[in-house]
Amino acid sequence: MIPAAFDYQRAASLDDALSALSGGDAKVIAGGMSLLPLMKLRLAQPSKLVDIGKLAELRGDGPTADGGWEIGALTTYSEALAATKLDFTRACVEGIGDVQVRNRGTVGGAISHADPASDLPALLLALDYSAVLRSSRGERTVPLDGFFKGPFETDMAPDEILVKLVRGPLPAGADGSYQKMAHPASGYSIVGVCAVVGSSGGSISHARVAVTGVGQVAYRAKAVESALVGSDGSAGAVASAAAHATDGQDVNSDIYADRAYRARMAEVYVRRAIDAALGR
């Protein structure tokens, strides 16, 4: 289909882009992998597109001084693949789209789009990332845990741009895994789970478990995390924790997986992700 008519502006700088977003119904575009399909279906009809794709100040992917990691919003999936030191991050990103999508789509675009079946939100939630948002009013940092408000809805104001994503260092000895039940045609997650787990003194000392494709948004499975921390990490303990995979969630039901099946698969994939993070 053909999108509705819209104005177009290529931003020369971040300040230029922020000024263009003040008032009206403008939308930011970078890679266009998410917004353009919605516009072609007329599910999104912005009056103006502000193109930030050429802003070098929003690129970059690498370690921070405190041992954490920082990802510029315009970093592409392919650039993130090349920069990451984490095998489970690589496994997750390699399963997103195809080569063309990974070369064009951006990390910031995926997080801003908040597709409830997208892989990247679960990965970054499990790694305790925060979004750095900027507007003409100033800058604020928002943890991704709580950033996703509903399908395709975030805590970002209409005049804000996501400029980068940041996290602190991983706990010593922590490792992770991304496990995914993918739709065979689209590759989107019917169920996707990222687990980051660390042990100390014979028990689990750190656990982050994030799930996508199951609820209305990607979410931290906090009941799983609570059950896991302090346990011995045995197969029984992991299975008991995984039973809480969908606690408090309105589980999706569609032609690919009904509610009961998706809930059961969430439990299975949470257990697999934790086991893999523990090296089993």
Instruction: Give one DSSP letter per residue of 13-46, joined into a string.
Output: SHHHHHHHHSSSSEEEESS-TTHHHHHHTTS---
Q: What is the pLDDT of residues 92-137, one digit of tens each?
A: 999 998 899 999 999 999 999 999 999 999 999 999 999 999 999 9
User: What is the rounded distance in angstroms from the CA atom of residue 256 to the CA atom of residue 254?
Assistant: 5
pLDDT at 25: 84
Which pLDDT score is estimated for 265?
Answer: 98
Looking at residue 185, what is its pLDDT?
Answer: 85
Q: Are 147 and 154 in contact (CB under 8 A)?
A: yes
Cα 247 to Cα 168: distance, rounded to the nearest angstrom:
27
Query: How deeply is 21 buried, as exposed, middle or buried, from its count of CB atoms within 10 A (0-12, 13-18, 19+)?
Result: buried
pLDDT score of 80: 97
Our CA angle for 231, 237, 240, nearest 5°, is 125
Phi, psi of 37, deg, nearest 5: -60, -40
Give the per-residue pLDDT at 207: 98
Residues 6+ apart with CB under 8 A from 106: 30, 31, 33, 73, 74, 75, 76, 77
Q: Is the dihedral of CA 75, 124, 269, 236 positive or negative?
A: positive
Distance, CA of 210 to CA of 194 (rounded, Å): 5
Q: What was the pLDDT predicted at 31?
A: 83
pLDDT tens profile 32-62:
888 888 889 898 898 899 999 999 999 999 9
pLDDT tens-place values along the chain, 280 residues long: 788 898 999 999 999 999 999 877 888 999 888 888 888 989 889 889 999 999 999 999 999 999 999 999 999 999 999 999 999 999 999 999 889 999 999 999 999 999 999 999 999 999 999 999 999 999 999 999 999 999 999 999 999 999 999 999 999 999 999 999 999 888 889 999 999 999 998 999 999 999 999 999 999 999 999 999 999 999 999 999 999 999 999 999 999 999 999 999 999 999 999 999 999 9
Is there a contact between 216 and 251 (Cβ–Cβ < 8 Å)?
no
Question: Domains plus CATH for the chain?
Answer: 7-51 (3.30.43.10), 56-167 (3.30.465.10), 175-277 (3.30.390.50)
